[in-house]
Amino acid sequence: MATSIKFGTDGWRGVIAEDYTFDNVRRCAQGFATYLLSKGKQGQWVIVGHDKRFSSEFFAAAVAEVLAGNGLKVYLTDGATPTPVIAYAVVDKKACGAVNITASHNPPTDNGFKVRNETGGAIDPDGLKQIESSIPDSVQDVKRINYAEAEKSGQIVKFDAAAPYIEHLTRDRLIDLQPIKDAGLTVMVDAMWGNGAGWFTRLLAGGKTKVIEIHNMRNPSFPEMKRPEPIQPNIDVGLKATVDNKADVLLITDGDADRCGIGDENGKFINQLRVYALLAYYLLEVRGLRGPIVKTLSTTTMLNKLGELYNVPVYETGVGFKYVAPKMTETNALIGGEESGGYAFRGNVPERDGILAGLYMLDFMVRTGKKPTELLQMLFDKVGVHYYDRIDTPFSGDRKSREEAILKANPKTIGGLKVTELVTVDGFQFKLEDGGWLLIRFSGTEPIMRVYCETTHQDKVQAILQDGLKVAGLKV
């Protein structure tokens, strides 16, 4: 029986050699080709790229064969390429979409199949359903052409996506690199064995600023971390290296470099919600820009407060860039992001960009002359101190019955704070009287339940999370 392939918040991910096989990747590619052809994209170009996971380049080549076999033309990256660079290539090459072979921050056992539209951004939920429904049950129904033949005929063309992306950063005035190069900073970079390796070194070369990289080789087993996700404990080695090297900041990119993590000058992690608020504050206050903010419901209410202070609208979506990217495009948003550390910016493609986010953090430091801890204090002076944490727990059994149990629990207080509203846009978000929240939702990519919270009371974070586990029917 054929594997049932289901697309989550950002495409399909599976366990290599178990369900993530060449046959199943080819089936996915056929589904995407059928979808593109149904949209009238016959004969158009598609970008195909990949990360540094086990055999990713070979899975990408298999995808290229199928797309070419369906009459599409393929630009295939000539090596492992950051997701935001692949996304920009869609626009630069005027392609009709992209396939990216990556499992991003998942464990080393996994690989994935991401799809993008003609903007370089995530495809909306309806489009993902169409792709999923177009995946054939059998690999026998997949059309493909031999790679060598397709390359000889010009249907598959290898290319370097880096140069156009780098030119875009400066040409479109997203960032002025020279002041950062001249600042004399010591920048620690943890590339997490992924696609971000070498990028900050390349972009900031030729000045007084020094870049020190770790975990910048290819190693699909991801030593010294559980997975290439830019949160603790995965980043503890990088945080220690920041102190050991007396660096001014730590920039962390996840496996495919679409997400960014930040460590301060003292080797302390700045959580993703605070980084999102810092980036929005930088654009609004330091750059003087204006425009809507798009946020998932799992990220910080500090953004809502910044929206009020700077008189810009804030739009809230479900979790995942399949919701954020279309809303950014619709509203011409200044910034969009989510709790996982993915941030996208106006003037760029509507895709998370861990490289540009890291550059913006450096520019924030250079323009203000402040260290990360001082930037945080500037933010807190504006919106108050907010605290966040998250617990991920594997679950078994029927998801629907668990959802019904959460609704039935209907708590009046959580962590000692009064519940003021229940939002069910994506999961179950309980709004709290202090302006904080508790969110319980099922992962779209893994068999786990996530319990998150944000509050202005540091002493209530764990109590809120523990109550959340009880409401979810999980062991405390």
According to DSSP, the β-strands at 417-423 and 428-432 are antiparallel
Answer whether residue 214 is part of any domain.
yes
Please answer whether residues 59 and 86 qualify as being in contact, where contact means their C-beta atoms are separated by less than 8 angstroms: no
Q: Do both 409 and 375 map to the same domain?
A: no
Residue 373: how many other CB atoms lie within 10 Å: 12
List Cβ neighbours of 133 (8 Å cut-off, separation of 6 or more).
31
Residues across the chain:
476
Answer whether residue 4 is part of any domain.
no
Answer whether residue 3 is part of any domain.
no
Q: Do both 412 and 265 map to the same domain?
A: no
Answer whether residue 177 is part of any domain.
yes
E-strand ranges in 360-416 read 387-394, 413-414
At 445 the pLDDT is 63
User: What residue spans of 1-82 are helical by DSSP H?
Assistant: 22-38, 56-69
Residue 154: how many other CB atoms lie within 10 Å: 9
Q: What DSSP string describes 423-465?
A: E-SSSEEEEETTS-EEEEEE-SSSSEEEEEEEES-GGGHHHHH
Q: Is 371 exposed, middle or buried (0-12, 13-18, 19+ CB in 10 A)?
A: middle
Read off the tokens for 313: 């609208």
For 328, what's the count of Cα atoms within 13 Å in the CB-facing half-sphere? 31
Q: Do both 153 and 242 map to the same domain?
A: no
Which is nearest to 82 in space by CA: 160, 165, 195, 185?
Answer: 195
Please answer whether residues 460 and 415 qualify as being in contact, where contact means their C-beta atoms are separated by less than 8 angstroms: yes
What is the residue range of 117's domain? 12-161
Q: Do both 220 and 241 map to the same domain?
A: yes
Residue 55 is part of a domain; what is its CATH number?
A: 3.40.120.10
Q: How far apart are CA 350 and CA 462, in angstroms?
A: 34
- What's the DSSP call for residue 337? E
Answer whether residue 166 is part of any domain.
no
Residue 97: how many other CB atoms lie within 10 Å: 26
Q: Do both 82 and 179 map to the same domain?
A: no
Q: Do both 32 and 137 map to the same domain?
A: yes
Q: Does an H or E element contain 75, and which?
A: strand 73-77
Residue type, 113: F
Q: Do both 318 and 450 map to the same domain?
A: no
At 443 the pLDDT is 79
At 269 the pLDDT is 98
Answer whether residue 476 is part of any domain.
no
Boundary (domain end) residue, out of 329, 357, 383: 383
Residue 452 is part of a domain; what is its CATH number?
A: 3.30.310.50
At 10 the pLDDT is 75
Q: Do both 346 and 403 map to the same domain?
A: no
Q: How far apart are CA 67 and CA 97, in angstroms?
A: 11
Question: For the chain, first and last CA: distance in Å?
Answer: 39
Q: Do both 109 and 251 map to the same domain?
A: no
Q: Do both 60 and 145 map to the same domain?
A: yes
Answer whether residue 7 is part of any domain.
no
Please answer whether residues 119 and 98 qualify as being in contact, where contact means their C-beta atoms are separated by less than 8 angstroms: no
Q: How far apart are CA 220 and CA 214, in angstroms?
A: 15
Domain count, the chain: 3
Boundary (domain end) residue, out of 126, 161, 196: 161
Answer whether residue 1 is part of any domain.
no
List Cβ neighbours of 100 (8 Å cut-off, separation of 6 or more).
11, 48, 49, 50, 51, 83, 86, 113, 114, 115, 116, 256
Q: How far apart are CA 375 and CA 248, in angstroms?
A: 12
Q: How far apart are CA 188 and CA 398, in angstroms?
A: 44
Look-up: residue for tokens 């810009």?
312
Q: How far apart are CA 112 and CA 106, in angstroms?
A: 9
Q: Do both 441 and 363 map to the same domain?
A: no
Q: Do both 132 and 256 map to the same domain?
A: no
At 98 the pLDDT is 98
pLDDT tens digit at each of 476 positions of the chain: 678 899 877 789 999 999 999 999 999 999 999 999 999 999 999 999 999 999 999 999 999 999 999 999 999 999 999 999 999 999 999 999 999 999 999 999 999 999 999 999 999 889 999 999 999 999 999 999 999 999 999 999 999 999 999 999 999 999 999 999 999 999 999 999 999 999 999 999 999 999 999 999 999 999 999 999 999 999 999 999 999 999 999 999 999 999 999 999 999 999 999 999 999 999 999 999 999 999 999 999 999 999 999 999 999 999 888 899 999 999 999 999 999 899 999 999 999 999 999 999 999 999 999 999 999 999 999 999 999 999 988 887 778 888 888 999 989 999 999 999 999 989 999 999 999 999 999 876 667 899 999 999 999 999 999 999 999 887 66
For 33, what's the count of Cα atoms within 13 Å in the CB-facing half-sphere? 25
Boundary (domain end) residue, out of 383, 408, 434: 383
